[in-house]
């Protein structure tokens, strides 16, 4: 359960509540959020919570690596007072910026630890981070006058009500991720930086996938866990990567984000390539790519799979396998592997 502290313990300013009025305007995220003009500036409808844009946070805390790397990419390190929940080293090029922001925890911090930073804005990549069993609920922060933001990629077209990592009712797209960039840029009043970041992401995808055609090639994505492996379903970030290169996902018949699948079923699918998460966290078994490869080559159930015998592995960061700007990195690496395989 989330930890609680006295609301009188810290001098949080209470933000005014703004009501949506007028016709909603579709934002740059392809319909993942809606914005309306309150007279004080546009408001974002974010996973059922209203956030005013242009509030210019000065003490932001980001509770997941995905939102952290967006804020750092927008040049907002000097307006951040904490990060948490890391699966991998920070994205290349952001090392110096990341070092300037306190890391509150490698995994999820306590509610008290976050409040010690006196945040004026809190972001997360997953509803579970700001929900039951997470750091705290959005209401816990908002009751203290601290607005919160959750990546639309984890709530729009997705059902998180059950066990596991949720079920995709609609396939995720890069437009959803672009929308998150646009939203956060608008909240911090740096819209032009957001447009530049989105343009760069689009350019990288275009360059990576030019002349790549992996039709007829099957991919399988293993995130972590050797006892009951988390393999990618059809429609999350791995779906974006797979579609970008024109390949097929071995488990495209399930809409679960990361279903746990037994090894006999994995071996029976026998994909052309295994895309392996190379994580530096320590919360599951077989986190690193090396650990995954050792398991695959030593396990009698998997050692005779074509991809294992031919060492057809593609190594990705865990961040690239989650919905984030790092998904573009996943497209680049998988596309390069497809191009090499084609000769």
Confidence band (pLDDT; 50, 70, 90) for 13?
A: very low
Instruction: Judge whether 10 lies within some domain.
Output: no
Confidence band (pLDDT; 50, 70, 90) for 240?
A: very high
pLDDT tens digits, one per residue of 212-226 = 999 999 999 999 999
Residue 19 scores a pLDDT above 60: no
**Domain's final residue, options 156, 184, 203:** 203
Domain check: are 245 and 171 in the same one? no
Cross-strand partners of 45: 34, 50
How far apart (Å, rounded) are the C-alpha atoms in residues 111 and 122?
A: 11
Confidence band (pLDDT; 50, 70, 90) for 40?
A: low
Domain check: are 168 and 224 in the same one? no
Within 38-102, strands assigned E span 42-46, 49-52, 60-62, 80-84
Q: Are 134 and 114 in contact (CB under 8 A)?
A: no
Confidence band (pLDDT; 50, 70, 90) for 164?
A: confident
Instruction: Judge whether 132 lies within some domain.
Output: yes
Domain check: are 161 and 219 in the same one? no
Q: Are 54 and 37 in contact (CB under 8 A)?
A: no
Domain check: are 301 and 226 in the same one? yes
Ordered alpha helix ranges (H), 143-262: 174-187, 191-209, 237-245
Residue 77 scores a pLDDT above 60: yes
Domain check: are 182 and 47 in the same one? yes
Greater confidence (322 vs 2) lies with 322
Q: Are 340 and 245 in contact (CB under 8 A)?
A: no
Domain check: are 184 and 295 in the same one? no
Instruction: Judge whether 273 lies within some domain.
Output: yes
Domain check: are 182 and 41 in the same one? yes
Instruction: Judge whether 18 lies within some domain.
Output: no
Domain check: are 217 and 198 in the same one? no
Greater confidence (163 vs 215) lies with 215
The CATH number of residue 156's host domain is: 3.40.50.1980
Average pLDDT over residues 247-252: 98
Instruction: Judge whether 72 lies within some domain.
Output: yes
Domain check: are 100 and 229 in the same one? no
Tell me, what DSSP letter sits at residue 259?
Answer: -
The predicted pLDDT at position 17 comes to 29
Contacts 24+ apart (CB under 8 A), 285-290: 285/224, 285/225, 285/226, 285/227, 286/222, 286/224, 286/225, 286/226, 286/229, 287/224, 289/313, 289/315
Q: Are 222 and 230 in contact (CB under 8 A)?
A: yes
Instruction: Judge whether 100 lies within some domain.
Output: yes
Residue 11 scores a pLDDT above 80: no
**Domain's final residue, options 142, 176, 203:** 203
- What average pLDDT does the structure give for the chain? 89
Strand-pair category, 167-168 with 121-124: unpaired
The number of folded domains in the chain is 2
Residue 203 scores a pLDDT above 90: yes
The predicted pLDDT at position 343 comes to 77
Residue 259 scores a pLDDT above 50: yes
Tokens, residue 204? 């990288």
Strand-pair category, 218-224 with 248-249: parallel
Domain check: are 196 and 283 in the same one? no
**Domain's final residue, options 144, 179, 203:** 203
Domain check: are 261 and 301 in the same one? yes
The pTM assigned to this predicted structure is 0.87
Domain check: are 194 and 256 in the same one? no
Instruction: Judge whether 1 lies within some domain.
Output: no
Structural domain including 239 reads: 213-342
Residue 53 scores a pLDDT above 80: yes
The predicted pLDDT at position 41 comes to 65
CA 72 to chain centre: 14
Instruction: Judge whether 103 lies within some domain.
Output: yes
Strands lying side by side in the sheet with 49-52: 25-26, 34-37, 42-46, 49-52
């Amino acid at each position: 359960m989330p930890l609680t502290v006295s609301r009188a313990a810290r001098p949080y300013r209470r933000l005014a509540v703004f009501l949506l009025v007028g016709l909603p305007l579709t934002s740059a995220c392809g319909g993942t959020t809606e914005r309306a003009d309150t007279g004080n500036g546009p408001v974002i409808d974010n996973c059922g919570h209203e956030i005013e844009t242009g509030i210019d946070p000065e003490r932001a805390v980001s509770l997941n690596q995905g939102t952290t790397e967006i804020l750092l990419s927008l040049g907002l390190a000097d307006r951040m007072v904490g990060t948490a929940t890391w699966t991998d080293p920070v994205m290349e090029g952001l090392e110096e910026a990341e070092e300037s922001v306190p890391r509150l925890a490698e995994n999820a911090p306590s509610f008290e630890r976050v409040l010690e930073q006196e945040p004026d804005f809190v972001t997360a990549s997953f509803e579970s981070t700001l929900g039951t069993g997470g750091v705290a609920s959005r209401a816990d922060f908002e009751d203290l006058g601290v607005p919160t933001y959750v990546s639309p990629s984890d709530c729009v077209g997705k059902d998180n009500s059950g066990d596991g990592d949720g079920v995709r009712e609609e396939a995720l797209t890069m437009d959803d991720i672009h929308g998150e960039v646009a939203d956060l840029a608008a909240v911090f009043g740096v819209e032009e930086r957001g447009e530049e970041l989105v343009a760069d992401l689009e350019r990288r995808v275009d360059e990576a996938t030019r002349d790549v055609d992996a039709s007829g090639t099957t991919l399988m994505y293993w995130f972590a866990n050797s006892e009951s492996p988390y393999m990618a379903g059809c429609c999350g970030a791995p779906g974006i990567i797979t579609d970008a290169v024109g390949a097929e996902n071995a488990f495209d018949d399930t809409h679960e984000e990361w279903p746990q699948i037994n090894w006999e079923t994995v071996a029976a699918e026998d994909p052309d390539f295994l895309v392996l998460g190379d994580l530096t966290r320590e919360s599951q078994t077989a986190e690193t790519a090396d650990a995954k490869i050792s398991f695959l080559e030593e396990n009698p159930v998997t050692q005779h799979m074509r991809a294992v015998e031919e060492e057809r592995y593609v190594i990705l960061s865990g961040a690239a396998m989650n919905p984030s700007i790092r998904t573009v990195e996943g497209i680049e690496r998988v596309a390069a592997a497809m191009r090499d395989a084609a000769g």
